[in-house]
Amino acid sequence: MADAATIKEIENGFKTLQDPKCNSLLKKHLTQSVMDQLKGKKTKLGATLMDVIRSGVNNLDAGVGVYAPDSESYTVFAALFDPIIQEYHGFGPNDKQPDVDLGEGRTKELTPLDPEGKYIVSTRIRCGRSLSGFPFNPLLTNENYVAMQEKVKNVLAQVKDADLKGTYYPLQGMVKEVQNKLIADHFLFKEGDRHLQHANACRFWPVGRGIFHNNDKTFLIWVNEEDHLRLISME
């Protein structure tokens, strides 16, 4: 259960959200009854309602205003997350993602969007993934960041596919020339904005953050930017 100091902070945060300039989904769905229902709860990893709403309380101009500190937060604080997700994404608590089917037979059904090559200059596909056994960025410790980076580096070092193998560049200690080159190529991410910072998603920067790209720079992986992993394919 959340301690008395945290509960008091949550109650004060709720009052802050009543500012007429605040129009976030957090304010809309964190009613008095929902706040009273959730303010004492805590996940197994220690996440409280304050961890969820901290960014929105500190940024009253936010459109959404919530961040999940760990996967269990989606169930422990479902009374807040579910209506926000439904309104923002149109995805209700009883909806289910379709089964993944990326077989060759399915991809052949996709017809060319620009068969003569007149309009499409480039394509980019990006997906985010989380590593099991770790909380999300707002709860990650310095040790978590280091361990996750080592785990990912070890996996990437084993990639043998000629199209995918490449080099991992940690942000910590990165040579300035390499950093400038990656920025110029629009590959390197920067520290998160004030919304992420207030969510505690940028702590210990740049520890545990890095970027991997293949030799052709058409396949990239961002490590611990906003998600644990962001995998990017470009052509």
- Ordered by start, the domain boundaries in the chain are 4-89, 110-234
The confidence score (pLDDT) of residue 97 equals 86
Strand partners for 170: 210
pLDDT tens profile 93-138: 999 988 887 777 777 778 888 999 899 998 999 999 999 999 999 9
The alpha carbon dihedral of 5, 10, 11, 17 has a sign of positive
Q: Of 45, 47, 42, 55, which is closest to residue 13 (Cα–Cα)?
A: 55
- Buried-exposed string 70-101: b where 16+ CB fall within 10 A, e elsewhere: beebbebbebbbbbbbeeeeeeeeeeeeeeee
Superfamily in which the 4-89 domain is placed by CATH: ATP:guanido phosphotransferase, N-terminal domain (1.10.135.10)
Tell me how far apart the alpha carbons of residues 172 and 207 are, in angstroms, rounded to a whole number.
Answer: 6
Amino acid at position 172, single letter: Q
Determine the CATH number of domain 110-234: 3.30.590.10
Return the percentage of the chain with pLDDT > 90, whole number: 83
Per residue in 8-45, pLDDT (tens digit) is: 999 999 999 999 999 999 999 999 999 999 999 999 99
pLDDT, mean of residues 202-223:
95
Whole-prediction pTM value?
0.88
Interatomic CA distance for residues 83 and 58, integer angstroms = 21
